[in-house]
C-alpha cells in the first residue's frame, strides 16, 4: 500500500508540473502576444503620424518632412491612432495603453546635417543634367579662390594706405609748389615795391596772399592724410606668413613713406601755421605802401608850392621794400617732393578709393536695377548658428551636388526665372554667399568680395611678372624728377600695379554683371590696359561691352556657388533653411522648418493581466496586472 501511494503521489506531482508548465507557456505566449500587439500599435501610430508629410515642402524643395505640432498635439495624435487598437484588443490583455513621444530630431539639428542628407539623396536620384559646377572646375579654381580669400584682407587693407601715401605725396608737391609760387611772388612784389610801382605790387601781393592761402590748405590736408597714413600703417598687420611673404615689399614702402612724412611733419606744420601771419603781413604792407604813396604825392605837391628840395621817394620805396623782404620770411621745405606733377598720383589714388556703390554703378548694365527686399534674421534658423555643430567635411562630388541643388531652387540676381521672385528672395544665391539681411547689402557684399579677390590675385600676378614690373617702373620714372628718392619711385611703381589690378578687376566685375564669363580666380598677369593710358586720367569705365567673354572662365552664378562652398557646412545649411522658411511662410501661418521632424522615437506603455499565474501562484492581495513598454523609432 505504501508503494502504491508513492506512485500516486509521484504521478500527481508529474501531472501538476506538466499543467504548471503548460500554463506558464500559455501565459508567456499570452504576454508575448500582448507585447507584439503593443509594438504593432506603437508602430502603426508613428507610421500614421508620419504619413502626413508636408507636401508643400516636397513640391518646392524636394524634402519630405512632417510638420511637428508640438509634444502635446503629437501625443494626442499618437493616442488617437492607438485608440483603435485599444478597442479591438480582443483576447490580448491590453489595458490602459498610453503613448508619448520620447525624442524628436528636427531638420535643423546638428548643423542641419539631416536636411543636407535629404538634399544629397534627392540630387543623386535625379537624371543627369548640366550642373553649374563640376569636380574638374573645383580642382581648377578652388586653389586660386582659397588663396584669394586668404590674401584679399591684407590687399584690401593695404589699398587705402597706398591711396593715402599717393595723396600725401601729391599734397606735399602742392605745398612745395605753393611755397615756390609764394617765393616768386614775394620777389616780384619786392621789386615792384622798390620801383614804386604800386599797381604791380598790389597784383603780386594778391598772388602772394593766394599762394599763402594755398600753402595753409595744402599743409592742413597733408598733415591730416599723413597722420591717417601713419596711424593706418601702424595698425596694419599680416594675418599669416603667406601674404607677408608676398606683400612685404609693399608694406615696407608704405611704412617708409609714413616714416618720411613723420619726419617732414614739423616743417609741414610750420608752413601751415606761418601762412595766416604772413598773409596778414602782406596785407599790412599793402596798406603801408598805399600810405607811402599818398605821403609821397602829398609831399610832392607841397614841394611844388614851396619850391623846396622835397623828399627822397626812391629811398623811401627801397627802404619799404627791404622791410617787406625782411618781414616776409617764408617757410622752407628741406626735402624736395620729387614729383613732376600731382595729377597722376591723385587719379590713381581715386581709383584705389573707389567705393562699392561707385563700383556697382560703373559695372552694372545701364538698364539693370537691383530689386529691394529684406530678410528678418531674428527668428530664422541662422540665429541659432552659434550653437550648431560644424559637421564633417564632404567630398568634391557631394559639394557639386549640393551646389547643384542650391542653384536649382535658389536663383541669383542675373537668373532668368519664369516665376516672379518673391519679395526678399530675389537675390537668393547672394544671401547664401554673404548672409546679409537686405538684397542690396547682399548684392554689394558679393560685388565687393569678387572685386577684392580678383584684385588680390591680379596684383600678386603683376608683382611676380618681370615685364609688368618693368613697365610700371618706366611709368613711375616718367612722373619723377631726376632727384626723386628710391622710396618715391617704389611707391609710384606699386601704386601703378595696384591701379592696374583694380582696373582689371572692375572689368571682370563688369563682364560678370553683364552676363558674360570672366577669368575668375586665375593668375592672369597680362593687364587689359597700359600704364600710359591709365596715367592719362579721365573716367575708369570698364570696357566690358568691347570685350569677349573668357572661354575658360566662370559666370556670375558659378562664382556665387564657389563662394557658397567656401563657407562652413553648418553656415550654408542654415542659410538655406532661412530662405526656405521665408519662401514658405505667409502672414497667416508662419512656416518654421525647425518644426519639421526628421526622426521620432515614441514609447507605448500598457498593462497586461495575470491569468494562470494569478490562479495558482500569486497571493490574493498581489496585483493582477503588470506593465509592458515598447518603443518605436522612425527616421528618414
Give the model's confidence band at 128: pLDDT under 50 very low, under 70 low, under 90 confident, else very high.
Answer: low
Closest CA to 63 of 397, 393, 409: 409
Under 8 Å between Cβ of 599 and 634:
yes
Which of 75-79, 173-177, 283-287, 304-308 is predicted least confidently? 304-308
The reply to whether 133 falls in a domain is: no
Instruction: Kindly state whether residues 184 and 278 are assigned to the same domain.
Output: yes
The reply to whether 125 falls in a domain is: no
Instruction: Kindly state whether residues 274 and 388 are assigned to the same domain.
Output: no
The reply to whether 415 falls in a domain is: no
Across the chain, what does the average pLDDT equal?
Answer: 85
The reply to whether 151 falls in a domain is: no
The reply to whether 304 falls in a domain is: yes
Instruction: Kindly state whether residues 373 and 518 are assigned to the same domain.
Output: yes
Q: What is the mean pLDDT of residues 251-275?
A: 95
The reply to whether 229 falls in a domain is: yes
Instruction: Kindly state whether residues 197 and 63 are assigned to the same domain.
Output: no
Instruction: Kindly state whether residues 576 and 596 are assigned to the same domain.
Output: no
Q: What is the mean pLDDT of residues 427-443?
A: 88
Q: Is the pLDDT of residue 29 over 80?
A: no
Instruction: Kindly state whether residues 471 and 328 are assigned to the same domain.
Output: no
Q: What is the mean pLDDT of residues 395-405?
A: 89
Three-point CA angle 68, 72, 78, nearest 5°: 75
Domain containing 330 equals: 164-337
Domain boundary among 582, 608, 626: 582
Three-point CA angle 442, 444, 448, nearest 5°: 120
Task: Check residue 515 and give its pLDDT.
Answer: 85
The reply to whether 143 falls in a domain is: no
Instruction: Kindly state whether residues 264 and 362 are assigned to the same domain.
Output: no
Instruction: Kindly state whether residues 83 and 177 are assigned to the same domain.
Output: no
Rounded alpha-carbon distances, angstroms, from residue 231 to 23, 280, 409:
94, 34, 47
Q: Is the pLDDT of residue 619 over 60?
A: no
Task: Check residue 362 and give its pLDDT.
Answer: 85
Instruction: Kindly state whether residues 578 and 598 are assigned to the same domain.
Output: no
Instruction: Kindly state whether residues 206 and 259 are assigned to the same domain.
Output: yes
Task: Check residue 303 and give its pLDDT.
Answer: 63
536-556: per-residue pLDDT in tens?
Answer: 765 566 655 556 666 778 999
Higher pLDDT, 324 or 612: 324
Residues above pLDDT 90, as percent of the chain: 34
Cα 295 from Cα 192, distance rounded (Å):
18
Task: Check residue 112 and give its pLDDT.
Answer: 86
Task: Check residue 262 and give its pLDDT.
Answer: 95
Residues above pLDDT 70, as percent of the chain: 87
Instruction: Kindly state whether residues 497 and 622 are assigned to the same domain.
Output: no
Give the predicted TM-score (pTM) of the model: 0.82
Rounded alpha-carbon distances, angstroms, from residue 234 to 244, 251, 255, 591:
15, 11, 8, 50
Domain boundary among 582, 603, 622: 582
Q: What is the mean pLDDT of residues 589-614?
A: 80
**DSSP state, residue 271:** H
H helix runs in 554-593, sequence order: 556-566, 569-584
Q: Is the pLDDT of residue 1 over 50?
A: no
Give the model's confidence band at 560: pLDDT under 50 very low, under 70 low, under 90 confident, else very high.
Answer: very high
Which of 184-188, 245-249, 536-540 is predicted least confidently? 536-540
Q: What is the mean pLDDT of residues 464-481?
A: 92
The reply to whether 134 falls in a domain is: no
Q: Is the pLDDT of residue 504 over 80?
A: yes
Q: What is the mean pLDDT of residues 315-337?
A: 90
The total of structural domains in the chain comes to 3
Most confident range, picked from 10-24, 466-480, 567-581: 466-480
Domain boundary among 561, 582, 603: 582
Q: What are phi and psi of 36, to 5 degrees?
A: -65, -40
Instruction: Kindly state whether residues 224 and 292 are assigned to the same domain.
Output: yes
Give the model's confidence band at 490: pLDDT under 50 very low, under 70 low, under 90 confident, else very high.
Answer: very high
Amino acid at each position: 500500500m505504501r508503494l502504491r501511494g508513492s506512485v500516486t503521489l509521484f504521478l500527481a506531482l508529474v501531472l501538476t508540473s506538466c499543467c504548471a508548465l503548460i500554463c506558464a507557456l500559455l501565459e508567456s505566449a499570452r504576454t508575448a502576444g500582448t507585447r507584439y500587439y503593443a509594438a504593432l500599435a506603437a508602430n502603426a501610430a508613428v507610421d500614421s503620424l508620419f504619413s502626413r508629410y508636408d507636401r508643400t515642402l516636397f513640391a518646392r524643395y524636394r524634402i519630405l518632412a512632417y510638420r511637428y505640432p508640438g509634444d502635446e498635439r503629437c501625443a494626442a495624435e499618437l493616442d488617437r491612432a492607438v485608440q483603435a487598437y485599444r478597442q479591438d484588443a480582443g483576447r490580448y490583455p491590453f489595458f490602459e495603453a498610453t503613448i508619448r513621444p520620447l525624442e524628436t530630431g528636427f531638420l535643423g539639428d546638428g548643423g542641419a546635417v539631416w536636411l543636407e542628407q535629404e538634399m544629397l539623396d534627392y540630387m543623386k536620384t535625379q537624371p543627369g543634367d548640366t550642373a553649374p559646377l563640376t569636380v574638374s572646375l573645383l580642382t581648377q579654381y578652388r586653389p586660386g579662390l582659397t588663396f584669394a580669400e586668404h590674401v584679399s584682407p591684407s590687399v584690401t587693407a593695404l589699398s587705402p594706405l597706398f591711396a593715402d601715401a599717393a595723396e600725401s605725396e601729391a599734397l606735399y608737391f602742392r605745398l612745395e609748389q605753393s611755397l615756390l609760387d609764394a617765393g616768386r611772388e614775394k620777389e616780384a612784389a619786392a621789386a615792384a615795391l622798390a620801383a614804386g610801382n604800386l599797381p604791380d605790387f598790389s597784383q603780386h601781393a594778391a598772388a602772394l596772399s593766394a599762394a599763402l592761402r594755398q600753402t595753409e590748405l595744402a599743409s592742413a590736408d597733408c598733415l591730416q592724410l599723413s597722420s591717417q597714413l601713419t596711424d593706418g600703417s601702424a595698425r596694419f598687420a599680416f594675418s599669416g606668413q603667406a601674404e607677408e611673404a608676398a606683400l612685404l615689399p609693399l608694406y615696407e614702402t608704405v611704412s617708409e613713406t609714413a616714416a618720411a612724412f613723420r619726419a617732414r611733419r614739423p616743417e609741414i606744420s610750420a608752413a601751415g601755421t606761418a601762412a595766416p601771419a604772413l598773409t596778414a603781413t602782406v596785407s599790412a604792407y599793402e596798406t603801408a605802401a598805399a600810405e607811402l604813396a599818398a605821403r609821397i604825392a602829398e609831399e610832392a605837391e607841397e614841394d611844388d608850392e614851396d619850391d623846396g628840395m622835397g623828399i627822397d621817394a626812391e629811398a623811401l620805396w627801397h627802404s619799404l621794400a627791404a622791410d617787406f623782404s625782411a618781414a616776409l620770411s617764408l617757410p622752407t621745405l628741406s626735402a624736395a617732393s620729387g614729383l613732376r606733377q600731382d595729377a597722376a598720383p591723385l587719379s590713381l589714388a581715386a581709383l584705389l578709393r573707389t567705393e562699392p556703390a561707385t563700383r556697382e554703378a560703373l559695372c552694372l548694365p545701364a538698364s539693370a536695377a537691383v530689386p529691394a527686399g529684406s530678410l528678418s534674421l531674428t527668428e530664422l534658423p541662422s540665429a541659432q548658428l552659434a550653437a550648431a555643430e560644424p559637421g564633417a567635411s564632404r567630398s568634391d562630388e557631394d559639394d557639386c551636388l549640393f551646389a547643384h541643388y542650391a542653384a536649382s531652387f535658389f536663383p541669383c540676381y542675373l537668373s532668368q526665372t519664369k516665376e516672379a521672385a518673391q519679395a526678399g528672395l530675389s537675390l537668393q544665391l547672394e544671401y547664401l554667399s554673404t548672409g546679409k539681411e537686405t538684397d542690396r547689402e547682399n548684392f554689394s557684399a558679393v560685388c565687393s568680395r569678387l572685386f577684392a579677390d580678383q584684385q588680390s590675385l591680379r596684383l600678386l600676378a603683376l608683382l611676380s611678372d618681370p615685364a609688368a614690373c618693368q613697365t610700371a617702373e618706366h611709368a613711375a620714372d616718367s612722373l619723377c624728377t631726376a632727384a626723386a628718392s628710391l622710396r618715391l619711385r617704389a611707391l609710384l611703381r606699386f601704386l601703378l600695379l595696384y591701379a592696374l589690378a583694380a582696373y582689371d578687376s572692375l572689368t571682370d566685375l563688369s563682364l560678370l554683371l553683364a552676363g558674360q564669363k570672366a577669368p575668375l580666380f586665375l593668375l592672369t598677369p597680362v593687364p587689359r590696359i597700359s600704364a600710359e593710358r591709365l596715367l592719362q586720367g579721365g573716367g575708369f569705365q570698364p570696357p566690358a561691352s568691347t570685350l569677349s567673354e573668357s572661354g575658360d572662365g566662370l559666370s556670375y552664378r558659378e562664382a556665387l556657388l564657389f563662394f557658397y562652398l567656401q563657407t562652413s557646412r553648418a553656415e550654408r545649411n542654415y542659410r538655406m533653411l532661412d530662405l526656405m522658411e521665408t519662401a514658405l511662410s505667409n502672414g497667416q501661418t508662419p512656416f518654421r522648418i525647425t518644426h519639421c521632424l526628421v526622426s521620432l522615437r515614441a514609447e507605448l506603455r500598457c498593462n497586461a493581466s495575470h491569468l494562470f499565474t494569478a490562479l495558482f501562484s500569486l497571493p490574493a492581495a498581489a496585483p493582477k496586472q503588470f506593465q509592458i513598454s515598447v518603443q518605436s523609432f522612425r527616421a528618414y
